[in-house]
A = this chain, B = another copy of it.
């Protein structure tokens, strides 16, 4: 198996209203089975999931948290507004988003956006991924997979990695249940979070700073069987339960 992973260069700074699928198709050629990773930032920019800090009125709760953390209360209010469950408040907010993802500061970003604005993660990244996939199919008549990615920290280890927050045209998990190992014994590890593994490497290609490569193409990944239950339920998530305030 050999996979070619290519940055899609030439994508301009994205503004609200930009036709992302059209811009992507103008900068690369696809073959059936290709997968693209799209940084959530440009999805949010094109859709206008942006708020000026000046328009956000912090609640007393946001003021309290902001004072403790040492952050802008308007930004903190934006984070609270995006969250369905606040897991911790200090030393930073870790919260659950409507679509199941758990992220630092609800994935709200002050970087890579002009002026005193903040960018929010899409409320429904699965829908965004499906939309991009469908529009690319309409433009090119080619069937590709789409992963919307975000950069996140993780437990126990320093540094951020790319993660999947939305996907279309594939399952999140590759399921090995029922498979045997090299010696015919029932496998211990049976669920592989392949969308996160692909998203992680796309982030390596994307870079974090003013490199500006928000879309990465994977050719040759093939297909797999599995399911889409990427996020633990509250009941299963013992780490979440243990740290929850």
Contacts and interface: CB of A to CB of B under 8 A. Distances in A.
Nearest to A3: B5
Given A230-B159, A232-B156, A197 B188 contact: no
B179 A210 contact: yes
Interface in A105-154: 109-114, 151, 154
Interface string A165-179: 000000011001001
Given A238-B91, A240-B156, A151 B208 contact: no
Contacts of A110: 185, 188
B204 A180 contact: no
Q: How large is the interface on A (under 10, 10 to 19, 20 to 34, 35 or more residues)?
A: 35 or more
B112 A232 contact: no
Nearest to A41: B182
A156 B87 CA distance: 11
A203 interface: yes
A13 interface: yes
Contacts of A163: 157
A191 interface: yes
6 contacts: A1-B213, A102-B156, A156-B240, A176-B208, A192-B203, A198-B204
Given A5-B5, A238-B243, 16 more contacts: A2-B4, A3-B6, A111-B188, A111-B189, A151-B192, A154-B154, A154-B193, A156-B239, A158-B231, A159-B191, A176-B208, A187-B209, A192-B204, A197-B204, A242-B242, A242-B243
Interface of A: 1-7, 13, 88, 91, 102, 109-114, 151, 154-163, 172-173, 176, 179-183, 185, 187-194, 196-198, 200-201, 203-205, 207-210, 212-213, 221, 229-232, 236-240, 242-243
